[in-house]
Structure 1
Amino acid sequence: MRMKDVEVDSKGNINLNTKEIPNPCIVVISKDTAKMTELPAFADTTIKTHQGKVVRVKWNEGEDF
């Protein structure tokens, strides 16, 4: 699984150290859950939602020819 859980404290805060995070990356927040993943070098990344909730993150990767 590519997406890694990001800790959310009891107040709903997220604490991220940008020096320890891979670049480029995305953080997706839905409901009371946060997940992070590194973005591939060549890809389309699609975030699908349903009824206001994230249900899927999809990658369509490619390679330079």
Structure 2
Amino acid sequence: MRLKNIPFKEGKLNVDIENEDMPFVVVYCQGEAKLTYLPNHGETKVITHQGRVKRVKFDEGEEF
């Protein structure tokens, strides 16, 4: 799975952005935070339903 759990305490989320050299997204829903890196090319969609995140969909396409 591409999404990694991010542990946090006391309502504070710490992500070290100094060591990251790729673009990334943090998704927070229902007390859980998850981080995923974005692909070099393609689309990444966050699918929601009734105010909750249901899935994160990656469409990197095909090379011709």
Runs of 4+ in 1 over 3 A off after TM superposition: none
Q: Distance in 2 between matches of 1:51 and 1:62?
A: 29
Gaps of 5+ in 1: none
**Percent same amino acid at aligned positions?**
41
Displacement after TM superposition at 1:59 (Å) = 0.5
Displacement after TM superposition at 1:64 (Å) = 5.2
Q: Distance in 2 between matches of 1:31 and 1:47?
A: 15
Deviations 1:13-64 (A, max 9, x none): 1011112334201000011000001100011111011111101000111255
TM-score w.r.t. the length of structure 1 is: 0.86
Q: How many residues align structurally?
A: 64
TM-score w.r.t. the length of structure 2 is: 0.87
Q: Which residue does the alignment assign to 2:14?
A: 15
Please tell me the root mean square deviation across aligned C-alpha atoms, in Å.
1.4
